Structure 1
Amino acid sequence: MKKLIYFGFFLLTMWSYGQKKTILAQSTPQNIIIDGKLDEAAWQNAPIATDFVMLDPDNGKAIPQEKRTEVKVLYNNDAVYIGAMMYDNEPSKILKEISQRDNFGTADLFGVFINGFNDGQQDFMFYVSAADVQGDCIMTDANGEDYSWDAVWISKATLTENGWIVEIKIPYSALRFSPENKQTWGINFFREIKRERYKYTWNFVDGKIGSFTQQAGILEGIENIKPPTRLFLMPYASYYLNAAEGQKTYGTIKGGIDIKYGINDAFTVDAILIPDFGQTKYDDQILNLGPFEQQFNENRAFFTEGTDLFSKGKMFYSRRIGGAPSAEPELNENEEISEIPSAVNLLNALKVSGRTKGGLGIGVLNAVTEKTFAVIKDTITGETRREVVEPLTNYNVLVLDQRFRKNSSVTLINTNVTRNGHFRDANVTGLAWDLNTKANTYSLFGNVKYSFINDVEDKTGVYSTITFAETSGNYRYSFGTDFVTKDFDPNDLGINFYTNYYNFYGNANYRILNPTKRFNTFRINYNMYTEFNKESGKLQDNNINANLNLTTIKNNYYGTGITFYPLETYDYYEPRADNRYVAIPRRIETWGSISTNYNHKFAIDLNGTFNVFDESERISYGFDIGPRYRFSDKLLLTYFFSYFRRNNNKGYIDQIDSDDNSNTPNDIIFANRNVITYSNTLGGKYAINSTMTINLAVRQYWSYADNKNILMLESNGDLSPYPDYTTNKNSSFYSWNADLSYSWWFAPGSQLSALYRNNAANFERIIDKDFKHNVSNLLNNDALKHIFSISVKYFIDYNAVKNKVRRRA
């Protein structure tokens, strides 16, 4: 009888998990003060959302009564309000590290996830930590959480003798929803108890299903709201003081304005006039010995905030806008380049994005960069002239993304670059799809892209990929294929390195969905990959990989993996010439990784790798070590040291042109070299309070390639000695970057920031292997630049200004 009762209880529990919970929002005419107290009368009578269920690690387990969570929802014509009480029977143990916005550190967390269309496709997520720090992001199952999106909203967290409270005001301007009189939103509430690393949600999110956004609960009760005009102005002013040894110190004042305007409840226009990106994070430059450019992260807020639509199909690389000039100046005899800009100035940019009631997402982005010149100098007469290296250029992105059945989408993407005059133009069009079964157990996704380049010679190319995957359960798998033609080129507004190949790949993996006696998480993967040159049919890549990743009950992470390359392959990219390739021997790569629990004051990250080739004395190995220490809830220091060495690495260094009248191919010169890389990174944070922080970021980098002997590439891909080549092609690149910054969010959406930065970089052919001398020489030479800047941006809500004017009248 007892077993029957347990079985009935089990069925009832599973049935309740399969249902979407519903909570009613209660209308209130009362003015709600966001102070973290929940003492207004409206809160007392509002319906309660409770009975949270564990998301991770023990998926489906009910939250203990002593840590129960109770959430209420209110609304008026201005905003929706969230009040949450997180009970805790050990309030003194609540973790509450103060950190920067969107970086919660070691602190308990509460979140509310809202989908105004209730279509299971995209959540607007708002988080508040127990230290009263805000975070927000846009979440899609395809792209995960995008914390580059920032909204303007108000919150307050307070600690009590029974736990902690969060009170939140989210203006309708921070959300997207249909214009209907009766709103039905998807909603879920989230809580993380950091000391235990336990995560809970109000509506059960089944870990067996490969979807998060489709498992939200329902918010009803919001009716007949009249959201105000969504018009926001963000004027800013900046002052820069630049100094360098041997150069005149000068100051610069800049100013501009960003505009956000809600066309309707679902669509928003973002415009940036007279942009200023002087305080963006520096790029981590490296010694790049490969055939492809280094790809950098986007740090400019306009190109990171709310750009999830533009990431569809992976066709948009925003660093192209305002990047390096696209053309090289033509030099006459006895001329040299005296001055060439490293980047092109952005004049203005605009984006429109939103989604209709029928699920059609529309995104339009436009940007214009200015005409840019290089200065050419005659080495005999000393005369100079200017030559255009980038004309006035217009960049456009158009995205149409149709969602259906709450978990699938088909997307049309077009990128276009038009340069004024007789310069290269480019157009790329793509169709992407992400199709999932109703139960989210299987997925079919991929895309087809077509590029057209209008240049001296027109070029067209095609890229296609398709993957099928099982996306639920303990055992999962996927397999797919790519096909890319030689002339596929999306690089005017996108980024792509490899062309002219086709491949086949597959994956099988096993994971636990609930903790065991030893592990919180456990996953093992098996991968296979094979790639062929499209024209010759030669094998370009072939590998078999197995890796294991796990987290112990004490929340320490361990990972290891091994990759076999069982066959000789042929690299068509390193020679940097058409129809030439270099043979790559068989090899084995291994790696291991440890990351201890960040809840502890002291934690450490360790990574190691070792690769051995089927070639005498050709190996590579390296390690990273990253200790971190949290002195208090306000002060955190981190350090990261990285070392990597490649012995007897073979790489391209030069090309010697043949006689024009000869059919002999060009001589392609390689070097047998040792490549050694060191980097040191120091980070620090001191939080004065939840809106005011001081941050330190220092990076020292040094990498050099020491050529041991010179080789010539044979037509069959082998390398043979080439003693006649005597030009020094050693490489040594070292750089230094240091940022000390102060940030103060003095009002919602308004920030004052001060930054002191010094940086230097140098490239040489002569290698000085004295590490200490190398660093000190870099810091003491004329290349070291000093910049001090202070910037203020202020958030102006048109409605708030209008209401103040009315009251005064």
Structure 2
Amino acid sequence: MKFFLLSYGLLFSFLGFSQKKTLETKFITNPITIDGKIDENSWEQVAAATDFLMFQPDNGKPVLPERRTEVKVLYDNTAIYIAAKMYDNEPNKILREISKRDDFGTADFFGIFVNGYNDGQQNFQFFVNAADGQADCLATDSNGEDYSWDAVWDSKAVITDFGWVVEMRIPYAALRFSPEKVQTWGVNFFREIRRDRQKYSWNFIDSKLGTFTQQNGILTGIANIETPTRLFLLPYSSFYLNANDQQKTKGTLKGGLDLKYGINDAFTLDAILIPDFGQTKYDDVILNLGPFEQQFNENRPFFTEGTDLFSKGNLLYSRRIGSVTNSPKKNENEIITDNPSSVNLINALKVSGRTKSGLGIGVLNAVTEKTTATIANTVSGDSRKEVLEPLANYNVLVLDQRFRRNSSIAFVNTNVTRNGSFRDGNVSALVWDLNTKANTYNLSGDFKYSYVNEDKIKTGIATQLNFAETSGNYRYSLGADMYTKDFDNNDLGINFETNYYSFYGNANYRILNPTKRFNGFRVNYNNFIQFNKETGQVQGSNININTNIETLKNNSYGFGINFNPFERYDYYEPRQAGRFVITPTSYSFWAYYSRNYNYKFAFDINPEYSRADEPGRDFIGITLSPRYRFNDKLAMVYEFSYSRRNNNKGRIAVLENVFDAMGNNTILFANRNVVTYAHIISGKYSINSQMNFNLSIRQYWSYAENKNILSLTDKGRLVDYLGYNENNNSSFYTWNMDLSYSWWFAPGSQVSFLYRNSSATFENVINKNYKDNINALLTNEKLQHTLSVSVRYFIDYNEIKNQIVKS
């Protein structure tokens, strides 16, 4: 009997692997109520998708009958409807932690993946967890899953005596598809049984292949749909109350409008008028001692949602839009009385979509207002304005042609035009991502050209080429890139290093199915070397070996070691053209352990250590993060990190009137110890899947204590320097706290309350008493308090039209 079942399972698996499954849907005229009951007669008239196969950990294993899944699909002229029954022989063990939107929590979940073009390039993915929470994302093989994209759709999850049930309504406005009368969509259904960390899909997803979106099944039966006008309005109103000890309490009322319009079934216009980003997450600012700016995450929804097309070529760093790039210049007896840290966005729009032939078109445009600083003369009392940022227009154009279901070639252009004599920038790129028909090998790369008009015209190029084997247990990749000295995409992108060429490679081995000891195992070897383009000197090098392991109990751990086998010529830290500092060879190692988050108590730990070939120059660091889930509503996470860099070398000053033997300005470095502490507390209390309280606290302190001063020789070496007595120590500490309440009172409509306080201080005097630093932050006269409330309401033009017709 066991032999028969095994043979049947292997045969069934082979049949499932060898061809795409097909599911037929049917048109309905009677309404479907999204209540999780699945009791309408229409559901009895359509076939079900069954016979799911495991994706992880035991890839290809058929689902047990007592844990089977059955899914049905219906459609009308407005939406598709999904009904899913998830059977479970132990329904009382179904995990169902309540969490906010786009957070699965510790819960079972069900999902549907839809590709309206059936071209294997992009999935629209919609998930519902067992606690009735929603998540959605856009997924591509090149960029992974983008959960910043949000759609408006309905769902209901209900726990039953046989398992649990999900009912969904996904309007066509949340999808993209061709205008054909007869539609053929790519579709797949996904389920995770969280307590066992088992993931299943309807159409088999072969983990040996380096692709996810190209392994959908087929949905047929959609024909002659008459999609309604896709016009959605999202008006909002916000009120802010700001206060600190230096100014009176000030209230500000704002209002604006977001708009979404379906130009046709494939293309959508998104626009924001009078935007408001006052409730976006704060930035995790650090003490930045290096030559490059700190790169921040984009937290503004408009610039994170549905931007997969605009990420082509990695030319868009949307935080440039609304940032200040110039500093005010003071004369003698002048002080700066008003120095804005950001620029107001006047409006912005996006148009994106894809034609039947696979041509993706994306246009993003934003306009920012003229922004000035105020400078006062302390003697005369007069004040003047200085322009920090002029009126500016930011534009991105993307043309992305897909072909053969798994490959694409794209043209990308970014342009920034500033009013008046300020700098303008333009960058163009050709980007390719080519895969063999069997998805076993990949050839990708790009060619970029930049044009900057400032004091003079500057042009540059950058290019990269990568080849990889993308299937099987053993995989490898090889690549090279090159950046000329004058390549500059920093008007709308971000790039730190130029004037180099580099080579890199990777080889790795992974298991695709569990063994007697592991659910997952992977070992990697990475090699990298970079040369200065003009001198040929080594700018960077690294040899890395690391291992990542997942145990049968779904705990994870890993470790790795790095070698920098060559002295490196750092052309960036001196911050002066043609100068460099030589950094020694070094090695480092790290490890981590992560306990399965299914447990109420879990934790992560990550120690690090590195040492350079120089007396006393080393680094030690550790991150520890325990978490506790009190119940399905309440959970807390604490993270502590500590690091110490001993005998770190960094530039602190340039003596413009003191020259070395070669006639260069003397560049001073400090031999310093850099110590950093950070505490982060995050917590949530969920009343239900639509009502959530969230807490986020971050306290950060970092200081750099100079031990002795060094000067940089023309040979790139550092030697002792006497006679410099200025205090170039650094101490930066900051505090942020957000306490918020969010209520999704209707699909797409939300009211949110936020209390925020924040403070930051930079000093040259280091006080090593931790308690004093905390007190200084919380009693600082600059401690800013903000209380805000925001209401956003989703309006569907068709609902208004239907109400008018009925009345």
- Given the two structures, how large is their TM-score scaled by the length of structure 1? 0.98
Who is 1:459 aligned against? 458
Who is 1:405 aligned against? 404
Distance in 2 (CA, whole Å) between partners of 1:140 and 1:597 is 27
1:14 and 2:14 are equivalent in the alignment: yes
CA shift, 1:12, in A, is 5.9
Distance in 2 (CA, whole Å) between partners of 1:107 and 1:355 is 35
Who is 1:627 aligned against? 626
Matched letter for residue 705 of structure 1: A
CA shift, 1:541, in A, is 1.1
Distance in 2 (CA, whole Å) between partners of 1:789 and 1:206 is 48
Matched letter for residue 470 of structure 2: T
Whether the 8 Å CA contact 2:659–2:666 is kept in 1: the answer is no
Whether the 8 Å CA contact 1:622–1:642 is kept in 2: the answer is yes
CA shift, 1:7, in A, is 7.0
Distance in 1 (CA, whole Å) between partners of 2:294 and 2:119 is 38
Distance in 2 (CA, whole Å) between partners of 1:391 and 1:642 is 41
CA shift, 1:559, in A, is 1.0
Residues 9 and 57 of structure 1: is their aligned pair in 2 closer, same or farther, counting only changes over 3 Å?
closer
- Does the residue aligned with 1:520 lie in a helix, a strand or coil? strand
Count the aligned residue pairs. 807
Q: Please list, as runs of the form range in 1=range in 2, the aligned pairs for 1:416-495 lying within 5 A after superposition.
A: 416-495=415-494
- Does the residue aligned with 2:73 lie in a helix, a strand or coil? strand
Who is 2:284 aligned against? 284
Q: Please list, as runs of the form range in 1=range in 2, the aligned pairs for 1:611-650 lying within 5 A after superposition.
A: 611-650=610-649
Who is 2:159 aligned against? 159
Who is 2:602 aligned against? 603
Runs of 4+ displaced beyond 6 Å: 1-9, 659-663
CA shift, 1:327, in A, is 2.4
- Does the residue aligned with 2:775 lie in a helix, a strand or coil? helix
Matched letter for residue 638 of structure 1: V
Distance in 2 (CA, whole Å) between partners of 1:138 and 1:537 is 42
- Does the residue aligned with 2:226 lie in a helix, a strand or coil? coil
Who is 1:235 aligned against? 235
Whether the 8 Å CA contact 2:660–2:666 is kept in 1: the answer is no
Residues 659 and 457 of structure 1: is their aligned pair in 2 closer, same or farther, counting only changes over 3 Å?
farther
CA shift, 1:568, in A, is 1.1
Who is 2:115 aligned against? 115
Distance in 2 (CA, whole Å) between partners of 1:363 and 1:205 is 30
CA shift, 1:629, in A, is 0.3
Who is 1:106 aligned against? 106
Whether the 8 Å CA contact 1:604–1:625 is kept in 2: the answer is yes
Matched letter for residue 358 of structure 1: S
Who is 2:779 aligned against? 780
CA shift, 1:4, in A, is 11
Who is 1:23 aligned against? 23
Q: Please list, as runs of the form range in 1=range in 2, the aligned pairs for 1:274-673 lying within 5 A after superposition.
A: 274-324=274-324, 326-658=325-657, 664-673=663-672
Who is 1:741 aligned against? 740
Matched letter for residue 144 of structure 2: G
- Does the residue aligned with 1:228 lie in a helix, a strand or coil? coil
1:207 and 2:207 are equivalent in the alignment: yes
CA shift, 1:783, in A, is 1.4
Deviates more, 1:335-344 or 1:281-290: 335-344
Who is 1:260 aligned against? 260
- Does the residue aligned with 1:801 lie in a helix, a strand or coil? helix
Deviates more, 1:423-432 or 1:5-14: 5-14
CA shift, 1:81, in A, is 0.2
Residues 620 and 662 of structure 1: is their aligned pair in 2 closer, same or farther, counting only changes over 3 Å?
closer
Whether the 8 Å CA contact 2:328–2:388 is kept in 1: the answer is yes
Who is 2:244 aligned against? 244
Matched letter for residue 378 of structure 1: N
1:47 and 2:52 are equivalent in the alignment: no
Residues 721 and 662 of structure 1: is their aligned pair in 2 closer, same or farther, counting only changes over 3 Å?
closer
Distance in 2 (CA, whole Å) between partners of 1:9 and 1:218 is 23
Residues 362 and 235 of structure 1: is their aligned pair in 2 closer, same or farther, counting only changes over 3 Å?
same
CA shift, 1:27, in A, is 1.2
Residues 640 and 659 of structure 1: is their aligned pair in 2 closer, same or farther, counting only changes over 3 Å?
closer
Matched letter for residue 686 of structure 2: A
Distance in 1 (CA, whole Å) between partners of 2:338 and 2:789 is 28
Matched letter for residue 703 of structure 1: S
Residues 5 and 611 of structure 1: is their aligned pair in 2 closer, same or farther, counting only changes over 3 Å?
closer
CA shift, 1:378, in A, is 1.8
1:88 and 2:109 are equivalent in the alignment: no
- Does the residue aligned with 1:561 lie in a helix, a strand or coil? strand
* Cα offsets for 1:37-82 (capped at 9, x unmatched): 0000011221110000000000000000000000000000110000
Whether the 8 Å CA contact 2:9–2:62 is kept in 1: the answer is no
Matched letter for residue 17 of structure 1: F
Whether the 8 Å CA contact 1:57–1:515 is kept in 2: the answer is yes
Distance in 1 (CA, whole Å) between partners of 2:737 and 2:543 is 41
1:68 and 2:53 are equivalent in the alignment: no
Who is 2:197 aligned against? 197
Who is 1:175 aligned against? 175
Distance in 1 (CA, whole Å) between partners of 2:73 and 2:588 is 53
Whether the 8 Å CA contact 1:658–1:665 is kept in 2: the answer is no
Give the gaps of 5 or more residues in structure 1.
none
CA shift, 1:614, in A, is 0.6
Whether the 8 Å CA contact 2:667–2:712 is kept in 1: the answer is yes
Whether the 8 Å CA contact 1:562–1:589 is kept in 2: the answer is yes
Matched letter for residue 394 of structure 1: N
Who is 1:693 aligned against? 692
CA shift, 1:333, in A, is 3.3
Distance in 2 (CA, whole Å) between partners of 1:529 and 1:661 is 34
Distance in 1 (CA, whole Å) between partners of 2:239 and 2:763 is 34
Who is 1:730 aligned against? 729
Residues 441 and 733 of structure 1: is their aligned pair in 2 closer, same or farther, counting only changes over 3 Å?
same
* Cα offsets for 1:746-783 (capped at 9, x unmatched): 00000000000000000000000000110111110101
Residues 12 and 56 of structure 1: is their aligned pair in 2 closer, same or farther, counting only changes over 3 Å?
closer
Whether the 8 Å CA contact 1:210–1:440 is kept in 2: the answer is yes
Whether the 8 Å CA contact 1:443–1:471 is kept in 2: the answer is yes
CA shift, 1:375, in A, is 1.1
Distance in 1 (CA, whole Å) between partners of 2:6 and 2:173 is 48
CA shift, 1:389, in A, is 1.2
Whether the 8 Å CA contact 2:544–2:561 is kept in 1: the answer is yes
Distance in 2 (CA, whole Å) between partners of 1:403 and 1:386 is 50
- Given the two structures, how large is their TM-score scaled by the length of structure 2? 0.99
Distance in 2 (CA, whole Å) between partners of 1:368 and 1:735 is 32
Matched letter for residue 486 of structure 1: K
- Does the residue aligned with 1:195 lie in a helix, a strand or coil? helix
Whether the 8 Å CA contact 1:658–1:664 is kept in 2: the answer is no
Who is 2:79 aligned against? 79
* Cα offsets for 1:296-322 (capped at 9, x unmatched): 000000000111100011000000001
